[in-house]
Structure 1
Amino acid sequence: MEITTLTDAPADPHAPTGEPELRRTIGLAQMVFYASGSMLGAGIYGLVGKAAGELGSAVWLGFLVAAVAALLTGLSYAALGSRYPRAAGAAFITHRAFDNGLLTHVLGLAVACSGLGSIAAGSWVIGANLQRVPFLSGVPVTVLTLAYLVLMAGIVYRGIRESMWANVACSIVEAGGLALIIFVGAKYWGSVDLFQTPANPSGGGLLAVPPLLLVQGAVLTFFSFAGFEDTLNVGEEVKNPRRTLPLGLVIGMLLACVLYVGVAITAVSVIPWQDLAEASAPLAEVMAKAAPWFPGWAFVVITVVAVANSALINYVTASRLLYGMARDGRLPSRLAQVHPDRRTPHIAIALILVVLMALTLSGNSAELAAATVLLLLSIFVVVNAALVVLRLRKDEPRGGFEVPLFVPIAGAIVCLALLVVRITSGDWKSPLIAGVLLAVSAALYPLVRPK
């Protein structure tokens, strides 16, 4: 890998020149929190139990393999972000590589749908947890959920600086909660065989872990690392993006990997993996045994913050995506308007709020979230392929962070393999929803395509 210290991207002949524009306020520290916060969401709080059911005490190995697989695509995103630090990054890159308006349109809306589905599903988790607060117990969950969405929209509208500071605060709580689990459970390390699996209860070392079982576990844990793609869409609001964006993304992914592996080892050391697999709130069970002095309500707060942080990042991503596509003539131009005082795409933010309310009230948010993983894997395949095309194009300007050609090739192959595994897993609802969303996006293209 190669990193240069140029302070700006190559001149883009299609770059916007109108005013007002988005404000550059994101530094390296905030970029690290943004990247890590997008991955340290609520997934780990429930996923570690499901993964333990598949991999046993070797669950940490599944997270490690998944981290390597995710890092391949993460490095591709880091390289692309240093080349083209723009809102609607994935859509812009796809069009630059393949020059296909329909593919660009569908991929851009797929990114938006994946983010909105995640927010809608998480909003019900927020509402249900808020109802546990004594003075909110009498408020209907629906009201709490909608109020949460309005508050989220208000933060994103207020400004990128305010959104980033809210993200920093939430990321500290998220990472702190996971670090606390490792800290209080470290005394249990060494008490179990970390290579014990359901297929091999006696353990016996790394070679005793069945390869197929490890791959299946890696498929499940891979989705704990999804979220790093959100960094691409705030490129126009990052200081010195050619250096800051890729470094922040890579550091954030490595931080998430360390915390995930540490939490996985701690969890199976404190609670037998058979019990962990049956627990509805596995990490809460770990805390209850390793630190009985820790109040249970505090872990509820950490869970709420984790979900809210993921939603905040997805909201920022979706708004910048719509803004960037509209500015490039691929969506109605009103979505490209920037508030003169707040310097945020306020029309796009308002539209997203309306759509989120409709999705939340429809009651289909959980199924939509299940389809999100399929949309993301499809996006990853296309983006990795785009980097391959751009790397092979002789007159394409280089970025401030370059990776060897085998990285995007391997990333595309891995994501395609995971996509096939997910589609053939027997769950027909999520592939159907993902297929319908892609079909509807394609059907809208004749109405909004650039003239």
Structure 2
Amino acid sequence: MAELARRLGVPDAVVIGLGSMLGAGVFVVFAPAAAAAGGAGLLVALALAGFIAFCNATSSARLAARYPESGGTYVYGRERLHPFAGFLAGWGFVIGKTASCAAMALTIGAYLWPGRARLIAVLAVLAVTAVNLRGIGKTAAATRVLVGVVLTVLAVVAVTGAPHVATDRLAGFADTGVRGVLTAAGLLFFAFAGYARIATLGEEVRDPERTVPRAVPLALGVVLAIYLVLAVVAVGVLGEQRLGDSTAPLAEVVTAAGLPGLAWLVRAGATVAVTGVLLSLLAGVGRTTLAMARRRDLPGALAAVHPRYQVPHRAELAVAAVVIVVVSLVDVRGAIGFSSCTVLVYYAIANASALTLGRDPARKLPVQLLAALGLVGCLLLAVNLPVASVLTGFGVLALGAAWYALRHTTRPT
């Protein structure tokens, strides 16, 4: 079986994690989360989503150190629980993140050329796929540049908006109460899910037992701090009603702060940020597809690794083709809800797998308790997402389960 080259150290892994997370939350999900939970509810939901992400990160890091290969929870579920659990995790990840890729591509189109958003989205998918096919080293280098640009733009928004924050706008919850906070937390979880990209690239990380446990919490902590600052600024400047109705909230922040000339910079930064997300998303989905194809849960032809660039080129091309098809069908907010539902199931399986590892005397954290809280939290957020997202997400998971059962029933013994 062809192996992927181990080229990523801690800095590269952190950068890929940052590139996967930064952008999705800041530029996409703050508005629907504020509409669901209100101003104060948004901040509570962000803290809740961050805590559950931390639980998941702890479990994922332990599992990635034990199983340093591509595939993430698809591998962990197979090895620690049952082959079906692994399949369900892999299936949920692939379909959920394919929807995420389509949503991110459409966002790029909406920012660059609203009148031709779908055309720009297709071109973005083709361009990002071309970068990924050149090798994971190229992906890490490109993501490093994107992260630097995004951090600069977000700093401009924070510094511009901070003097105009009205503290009274930070109070108040939506009429939906606790359910609204849980719905918002489920949507905001979409913004944190990128840290798993480090685990799904486990076969390409140098010294994974040391690199992954360091890179995952470091990337997550940096992003959580950035999100909290920007959430306070966005709610404090715009208020929950205007934020909830906004399609480009951070551009509106600088406009409301009296500097409309900076809106173009924020829109350009959003395009760069979402491109970084798409870059890492496609890489992660391609590698999970590779892992599933190696075990014949997907067509075996997708398990090929390019002899020169050491990337799963057939898997990445197949994923890109599916994303291009989905781009013509999806709605951005609906895609976020659908993706969150299936990815939360993915992490629920990761936490269940981590529970089977037992206690870890080398860690000061109560890792078993965190895994249990992560498992319950993932399921709680998943079922409290918008009804359409829950029905669609669990329906597609059920279709995958039925196909798995049929395939194993008809397979010769």
In the superposition, the TM-score normalised over structure 2's length comes to 0.89
Q: Which has the higher helix share?
A: 2
Structure 1 equivalent of residue 119 of structure 2? 143
The answer to whether 1:192 aligns with 2:175 is: no
Give the superposition deviation at 1:249. Answer: 0.9
SS of alignment partner, residue 330 of structure 1 = coil
Moved more, 327-336 or 162-171: 327-336
Runs of 4 or more, structure 1, over 6 Å off, are 210-213, 397-402, 448-451
Contact conserved, 2:15 with 2:143, CA < 8 A, in 1? Answer: yes
Distance 1:402 1:241 in 2: 20
Q: 1:217 to 1:433 in 2, by over 3 A?
A: closer
Distance 1:360 1:216 in 2: 25
Give the superposition deviation at 1:414. Answer: 1.2
Pick the structure with greater CA Rg.
1
Moved more, 48-57 or 277-286: 48-57
Contact conserved, 1:126 with 1:307, CA < 8 A, in 2? Answer: yes
The answer to whether 1:40 aligns with 2:22 is: yes
The answer to whether 1:412 aligns with 2:375 is: yes
SS of alignment partner, residue 331 of structure 1 = coil
Distance 1:222 1:373 in 2: 7
Contact conserved, 1:194 with 1:265, CA < 8 A, in 2? Answer: no
Write out aligned runs for 1:118-133 (5 A).
118-131=100-113
The answer to whether 1:107 aligns with 2:89 is: yes
Moved more, 236-245 or 364-373: 364-373
Q: Deviations over 1:32-83 (max 9, x none)?
A: 1111222212332243334444332564343223312221112111211222
Contact conserved, 2:69 with 2:200, CA < 8 A, in 1? Answer: yes
Q: 1:239 to 1:144 in 2, by over 3 A?
A: same
Write out aligned runs for 1:130-209 (5 A).
130-131=112-113, 140-188=116-164, 191-193=166-168, 196-198=171-173
Give the superposition deviation at 1:401. Answer: 9.9
Structure 1 equivalent of residue 313 of structure 2? 346
Structure 2 equivalent of residue 24 of structure 1? 6
The answer to whether 1:440 aligns with 2:399 is: yes
The one of 38, 51, 71 aligned to 1:68: 51
Distance 1:373 1:430 in 2: 8
Give the superposition deviation at 1:247. Answer: 1.1
SS of alignment partner, residue 326 of structure 2 = helix
The answer to whether 1:223 aligns with 2:172 is: no
SS of alignment partner, residue 158 of structure 1 = coil
Amino acid at match of 1:315: L
SS of alignment partner, residue 191 of structure 2 = coil
Contact conserved, 2:20 with 2:277, CA < 8 A, in 1? Answer: yes
Distance 1:111 1:308 in 2: 20
Report the number of matched residues.
408
Q: 1:146 to 1:269 in 2, by over 3 A?
A: closer
Contact conserved, 2:282 with 2:320, CA < 8 A, in 1? Answer: no
The one of 86, 89, 93 aligned to 2:72: 89
Give the superposition deviation at 1:295. Answer: 3.2
SS of alignment partner, residue 193 of structure 2 = coil
The one of 334, 353, 358 aligned to 2:301: 334
Contact conserved, 2:197 with 2:280, CA < 8 A, in 1? Answer: yes
Contact conserved, 1:83 with 1:400, CA < 8 A, in 2? Answer: no
Amino acid at match of 2:54: L
Q: Deviations over 1:289-319 (max 9, x none)?
A: 3361643222221111222222111110111
SS of alignment partner, residue 342 of structure 1 = coil
Distance 1:162 1:122 in 2: 20
Contact conserved, 1:79 with 1:403, CA < 8 A, in 2? Answer: no
Amino acid at match of 1:384: N
Contact conserved, 1:59 with 1:265, CA < 8 A, in 2? Answer: no
Write out aligned runs for 1:290-369 (5 A).
290=257, 292=259, 294-363=261-330, 367-369=334-336
After superposition, the CA RMSD in angstroms is 2.9
Give the superposition deviation at 1:199. Answer: 6.8
Moved more, 381-390 or 54-63: 54-63
Give percent identity, aligned residues only.
Answer: 27
SS of alignment partner, residue 391 of structure 1 = coil
In the superposition, the TM-score normalised over structure 1's length comes to 0.82
SS of alignment partner, residue 23 of structure 1 = coil
